[in-house]
Structure 1
């Protein structure tokens, strides 16, 4: 599946370096990384992708091997391989699966607040189920959508995230593949069995939010087995949404990793 892609690059830069690819998290979209993409694009070619069922990309059943194959196919179509891949949460698991499945196509890997294992997304599983079962009214403006989403989402930041996935007005509709997402949540929460001996030997940085629980010491053995050259960096004042909650610290970590 070819994915919707936002591409930016320098007018006069060194395009001999691997492109930098951004993969968003669950219920997100490519432009979630817009600030960082614009900064990195001053020096490097960049591509931000809408993953399957998100943003402007097609819909369908999904698990991590499928998501990784979509990303590989899309980057190949853009002549953007091998690439440095940066993924947050679900996008981080997709990036890890891409590196394990197609190691020659990943120059280096930055995984943001997620580990290679089952876990995370437990609240999102319930949210996807409840939203999929919530009938859409005939008309929604922004205020009405806030109230409508408030039936199942108490937290305003989460409502704001989901509002980005609604076309408002007459006959409002979800732009995301909500039913496919809800049906695929067990696979998204999980982590597939990888081939025996599978590993990615390239440079790998895990970035954890200091106030997040998504990367735990229990995950370290799998991280070392699958990504033997990994480093772990913690941004103390951030939760799971590291790049949104501590943007300057995240940008510094990203630029240092890219050696910009």
Structure 2
């Protein structure tokens, strides 16, 4: 089963499951998890081939959704149905979970991704990480400097380096499988079902990952979908505007919980 981190304690409100994106980990969401845990239990997972979770030979969305179902099958008998929040790759995995195991969800929250295939490819980031010689790296700042030529964006480097364990000289990422299955990661499987439960799609106002052209595809699978955007932020909206993102998620869950 996936490694997961629990934040806070159970309350009368439905708990929240947080699912990170590509190259991320549960730890990346620590600030958001801590703040949202003031009202409810929050569980953050490491996806397969990321963080402290097991390494597998594939990174398909059916596999990832199955991993999430295993975690929730373990937790829901005690805690009940979860709100499920997923960002980017984690958002796609959460969408497929909702489409295949709606019984496990109180609601779905998708951060800056749509159920469509994308043309971008992040393999160059994998190459840069894998090619970095960690032998003489003693500090994360040294790794940052060594990656600068291949990854000019300081924010992207900072994000990736959260998965580097300098003392052990290893990455908490299965680079080979992530590269091999990149076409699956940027794609989205054909699905013949719908999720009729409440679904909230929140995007970065300046992100290129979500556009109005995606609305029809989203509504076809999630007929009750609601949409919102956070101005002045891009794809990593939870890191760029954490307070605004937290407020949007909190308001959504509060509204859904009030119906119960």
Q: TM-score, normalised by structure 1?
A: 0.91
Separation in 2, partners of 1:36, 1:174: 23
Instruction: State the SS of the aligned residue for 1:78.
Output: helix
CA contact (8 A) 2:203 2:229 kept: yes
**What whole-Å deviation, never above 9, does each CA across 1:17-65 have from its counterpart, x for those lacking one?**
3210001111111122212211221111110001111111111211111
Match of 1:128 among 126, 129, 145: 126
Separation in 2, partners of 1:254, 1:168: 34
1:111 match: 110
73-82 or 184-193: bigger deviation:
73-82
1:18 match: 14
Any unmatched runs of 5+ in structure 2? 256-260
CA contact (8 A) 1:206 1:233 kept: yes
CA contact (8 A) 1:136 1:173 kept: no
Separation in 2, partners of 1:35, 1:137: 29
2:258 match: none
1:45 match: 41
**What whole-Å deviation, never above 9, does each CA across 1:50-94 have from its counterpart, x for those lacking one?**
111111111121111100100110222233552110011111111
Any unmatched runs of 5+ in structure 1? none
1:254 match: 249
Cα pair distance change 1:179/1:49, threshold 3 Å: same
Separation in 1, partners of 2:134, 2:218: 45
How far did residue 125 of structure 1 move?
2.8
Instruction: State the SS of the aligned residue for 2:197.
Output: coil
Match of 2:26 among 24, 30, 55: 30
1:189 match: 186
Matched, 1:234 2:229: yes
1:96 match: 95
Instruction: State the SS of the aligned residue for 1:202.
Output: coil
Separation in 2, partners of 1:38, 1:146: 27
**Equivalences for residues 53-92 of structure 1 within 5 A:** 53-60=49-56, 61-79=58-76, 80-92=79-91
Match of 1:147 among 145, 148, 166: 145
Instruction: State the SS of the aligned residue for 1:243.
Output: helix
Separation in 2, partners of 1:10, 1:130: 40
CA contact (8 A) 2:86 2:92 kept: yes
CA contact (8 A) 1:75 1:81 kept: no
Q: TM-score, normalised by structure 2?
A: 0.91
Instruction: Give the root-mean-square deviation of aligned CA atoms.
Output: 1.7
How far did residue 176 of structure 1 move?
1.2
**What whole-Å deviation, never above 9, does each CA across 1:169-223 have from its counterpart, x for those lacking one?**
4x622221111111111100111111x2x00011100001110111112211111
Matched, 1:208 2:206: no
